[in-house]
A and B are shown apart, each in its own frame.
Chain A
Amino acid sequence: MVRFENVGLRYGLGPEILRDLSFLIPAHSFQFLTGPSGAGKTSLLKLLFLSLRPTRGLVNLFGHDVSLLGKDQIADLRKRIGIVLQDFRLLDHMTTYENVALPFRVMGRDESSYRKEVIDLLKWVGLGERMDALPPILSGGEKQRAAIARAVISRPHLLLADEPTGNVDPTLGRRLLRLFIELNRSGTAVVIATHDMALMDQYDARRLVLHQGRLHIYE
């Protein structure tokens, strides 16, 4: 599904912050991406999400060499990827329901075709009562769940989550981890970037450890 070969990344003329990354993310797989702060976890997630292009090396995503893709093709590929960012990135002028339904709206689907699906998912993540609420009045945990619901609503092939439990208490963190595990069981490949060892200890999964720009894989 995702193949990196000797990938390097630098910002501008600065030092290379990711060096010689070579790894595979198979379909239906589950992995934690970890490493100390500043190790380049977010940069690697951005490479996986096609927000950044590698300075060198090959990135192959869903069978496409990303260096050959145009902007429209990248947009199409992103529809197959869900991403959860640390700062949620919910649109404050839209209700929780509208935020979660946004991927379907962008696809041009009629609301009646996905309404039940969005409501079911919102209930499933415990936001059934909050679907008319605007993000500014949601708690941190509710925002996190809304952001996760938006990332998974279109059943992405690949889910990327950047510190998804960073803003929630341990109990909710465990619940969110279960959500990701369930998603993975339904066929979505999951990459969770975290430095929360306690979270990783709760689930036996592959670990991709970034250290000084290099990647070490623990199967």
Chain B
Amino acid sequence: MRREGSPLTGVGVVLAKEAADYLSGPRMWLLEALVFLTAIGAAYAAILSIRATIGESPFLFLRLFTMAQDPLPSFISLIGFLIPLVAIAIGFDAVNGEFSRRTMSRVLAQPIYRDALLLGKFLAGLLALAIGLVSLWLLVIGLGLLLLGLPPSGEETIRMAGFFVATLAYGGVWLAMAMLFSVVFRAPATAALAALGMWLLFALFWSVLTPLVSALVAGPPDTIFGPNLAYLHLSQALDRISPNTLYAETALALLQPATRALGPVFYSQIQGALLGTPLPAAQSFLLIWPQLTGLVATMIVIFAIAYIVFQRQEIRA
């Protein structure tokens, strides 16, 4: 039966309220302080390293994001590690929190559809992530301007903007995942544990599991004739199920312009190539397009599952 009225009625109201809650809540302050401190620390260490070791490079600013200086990992490694935590912290009690506070039926008794509530919460989470990331990005650029004394080039700005979009999509995947668990589990603690479990699986264990599974299915990675191509292809395909891999490949190709391929390359394919020469930004975007669309698609699919489960739930609190 067709329902009358727009499913988007009230999305803006939910978005504004939830975004204000996310941005002003102590939970977010703590997490964002953690992200800011570690990321700025990593960027500062990278700047010191750049000043000491690199005389001239066309992509000095991009090195702020990729260069690691002991004991701190690089900026992108830290962001790749911490953004899922922030996204999970935003989303793990988005829906079940409404049930446990007994506000769900009161809110849904207003003239809005469930669609608006879930979408508003998701968009508010993405907005909170985006605001945090933009602030961080501007801080890093400001730090670079002060300490390196150079502005970022147009090409670098485009690549950094692409990196920002990819990071937002990556955060969106984890936000959708946390919201899915907040729909499935009524206890916020269970939802948080499930989401953190998925994060640990992809952040730590996936890279251990994929070689094992690939070796079992396709045989050992090396044969007497050289590398086992079936193994390599399967291993890469399994790796790319993980949003962490998709994000890492995207960040690598965008922030290291010399990256020319994201997988096994035959000698015949690199004949004539000027290795170490940076690719134009457009070519790098072509290279990461499948990864970026994969991240966005994963985010949408997980959100759609959460949406379907939520639509079928009984509202009694």
Bound together: no
Residues of A within 8 A of B (CB): none
Residues of B within 8 A of A (CB): none
